[in-house]
Structure formats: C-alpha cells, structure tokens
Amino acid sequence: MTVLECSRCIMRSTDDPQLELVGGVCNHCRRYQELLPSRVFTGRDGEEKLAAMVREIKEAGAKHRYDCLIGLSGGVDSTSVAVKVRELGLRPLAFHVDNGWNTELAVSNVEKTVKALDLDLVTEVLDLRQFYDLQRSFLLASTPDADVPTDHAIQACMWKFARKYGIKYIISGMNFRTEAISVPSWSYGHSDWRYIKNVHAIFGREKLTSYPHFGFAELGYTNTIARVRIVSILNYFDYNKAEAVKQMQEELGWRPYPGKHFESIFTRFFQGYILPVKFNIDKRRGHLSDLINSGQMTREQACEEIERNDYTPDLIRRDQEFFCKKLNFTDDEFRQMMEAPVKSFRDYKNSYGFVQFLRNSVNGLRKKGWYPK
C-alpha cells in the first residue's frame, strides 16, 4: 500500500485514511489556509474585535458576580485563557472537573493559577465508580474515543455552572491556530449522549445516576433561550504557545508537561500507548501539523519531535498498572481489550447526522457574524 504524506505538514494516510493531496499538500493544510482568515484575527482588526467582545461580556454580566466562565485543567490553553481574561479586566468564575486522573503536577498548576490570579474556583467531583465504569465501557467498545466520557462531563458541567451563576459567556481554550486538524475517525461523540448511552448500555455495569450529561434539547435551550455563548478568545490575538508557557512560568510559577495532555494520567496512557498500539493513531501528528501551519514550528522541527518520545517504557509500565487497577482490568482482560477488533462510533447508535447539522449551522452563523468565533 502506498503511503501518502503531506509536503507541508506531517500528516500521512496511515494517520488519516481520508488524506487527499493536491500538489503535495493535504486537505488539512488546505482547509487550514482557507478558514484561517475567518477564524483568527490579529493586529488592529483583532484588537478591535476583542475590545468589542470584552465590552459585550462586561455589559451582559454587569449585574452578576461573574461575567464569564472559564474551565481550568492546568494545561497550557486553559491557563492562557485565565491569564488573558484577567489582563482584560474580566471577572471570571473558574471551574474544574475532578475525574480522578489528575497528575500531581496538574493539581499544582491549577492551585498556582488560582492563587496568582485570585480566581474563584468551583470543582465538580465525579462519582468515580460510575465514571470509571463508563470509561471502561468505551475501552471495551473498541473505539478510539475513550476520552469522550471526560469531555462530555466537562461540557455538561460547563453548561450547568453557566446557568447556575447567570453567566452568559463561556471563554474557551479551544483555538484554531493549534487545534484545527480534526479527523472524524480519531474521535467522535463528545456531545452525543445517545452514543454514550448506547455504549454504556452494552458494556456498562453501573447505573449512571449522577454522571453529568446533556442532550440536544438542553443544548438548544442553553444556546437559544438562555443565550449562553462560547467565545474562543485565543483566536483574537497572536497566540503563541511557547511564549504563553514562558509567561506562565514567570508570572504564575506554572510548570510545563513533557507532552500534550500529560496533565491527565488516563489521557497520557490512552493517547500515548493505546491509540498508537491498537489503533495506529498518533495524535501528536495533528498537533504538530497545526503548529507548522501556524508558523510556530518548522516541518523539520516537527519531524524531529515526532521521533522523540517522552513517554518512557518505565512510565508506560507504571501507568498501565495504575490504569488497570482503577478500571478493574486484569492483565488478561487488558490484553483481550487491546487485541479486540477495532470499531468506530458508526457501529453503535449515534446522532452523527444531527451533530454535523448543528456544527454546520453554527459555522454558518459564524460566517454571518451572528455567533462568536
């Protein structure tokens, strides 16, 4: 089989079976360049749009204790958002979801950020018995999206806290520059409660009585009736990850992680071991390719980085032991899970068509300037 590889970024057809090259450049790079002018704003234009948005946020929250909501994981992007909203004079409420997988460094970084920026923080502690059962279910489902239970819970808590505190604006750490590449076969279902329920109905053992979740009716109410908006504030200035890390180290005492999403032991093991070994997916390629397209890294540097692996065999071994203990996998059960045939979300009940309709609708509203970018 011929392996296609982009001449601009480091995406390959072994990573994305749908990869298409035109003049040696892949569809991800072409999409990046096509959407960049409408998703990222810098210079005078960015300053004016950001200033206008800040005025809207302050006006909407004038009668409330907080005028915006931010998530805080201890990672680079969420911490960058916390720093930026304080610089802009906003009054954020920070929230954190404790799913039992935080590293000590992540906990320390959250604490340092909260203290240095004088933030109010609310923490949602998940019922770990139920949550671990849901994570285990996704692993047994043999799909490459076992981070869905965490991401869905975070979104559910986000909407809940926004409604509870009367907050109209959620400031997201998502940003187009460094998180543009999206491969459907890599992960799906973060907003699809039907899919999550079906996977758990087949493989789960516990009842999800307290797991935070939401459906499309609740999502529609929050967006249309309550008029809560998500703003990707990092898209409105020249956001550079390396510079952001340096600033956080100097001003907050924040300490970096050796890899992306290494603030979570589960995500570190899932993305660093299970995805590449079982699914032949290395998500670092998407991340590094975004850095290439954003001008924050050369292709040569990305190629060197992809060959360097900070996830050592000893750390993998320790993580696997911890992972199996928490999720009640015996060594034999873990081996069987790793050897089970690969499946996708399409093998289970889902609302993919409707999710795509919603996503396209939001993108259409963004193009018309009716929804924040």
Q: pLDDT in tens for each of the 373 residues of the chain?
A: 789 999 999 999 998 999 999 999 999 999 999 999 999 999 999 999 999 999 999 999 999 999 999 999 999 999 999 999 999 999 999 999 999 999 999 999 999 999 999 999 999 999 999 999 999 999 999 999 999 999 999 999 999 999 999 999 999 999 999 999 988 889 899 999 999 999 999 999 999 999 999 998 988 888 888 899 999 999 999 999 999 999 999 999 999 998 777 899 999 999 999 999 999 999 999 999 999 999 999 999 999 999 998 899 999 999 999 999 999 999 999 999 999 999 999 999 999 988 888 777 766 666 666 666 5
Q: Which two tokens stand for residue 163?
A: 């409604």
Q: Which two tokens stand for residue 279?
A: 């699914």
DSSP for residue 266: H
Q: Phi-psi category of 238—alpha, beta or left, where left has phi over 0 and alpha has psi -120 to 50? A: beta
Going by their DSSP bridges, the two strands 21-22 and 25-26 should be labelled as antiparallel
For the sheet with 169-171, list strands across it.
120-125, 92-98, 68-71, 169-171, 229-231
Distance CA 157, CA 135 (A): 18
- Whether 184 and 243 have beta carbons less than 8 Å apart is answered as no
Domain boundaries, the chain: 41-280+312-347
CA distances from 19 to 8, 99, 294 (A): 13, 34, 20
pTM, two decimal places: 0.93
- Whether 24 and 6 have beta carbons less than 8 Å apart is answered as yes
Distance CA 99, CA 96 (A): 9
Token pair 């931010």: residue: 70
Question: Which residues lie below 8 Å from residue 350, measured CB to CB, with a gap of 6+?
Answer: 188, 189, 192, 194, 195, 198
Beta strands in the chain (DSSP E): 21-22, 25-26, 68-71, 92-98, 120-125, 169-171, 229-231
**CATH domain 41-280+312-347 topology:** Rossmann fold (3.40.50)
Q: Rounded to the nearest 5°, which phi and psi values hold at 25?
A: -105, 135
Residue 113 pairs in a beta bridge with none
Half-sphere exposure of 248 (CA within 13 A, CB side): 26
Q: How many residues does the chain have?
A: 373
Closest CA to 345 of 188, 202, 192, 168: 188
- Whether 100 and 131 have beta carbons less than 8 Å apart is answered as yes
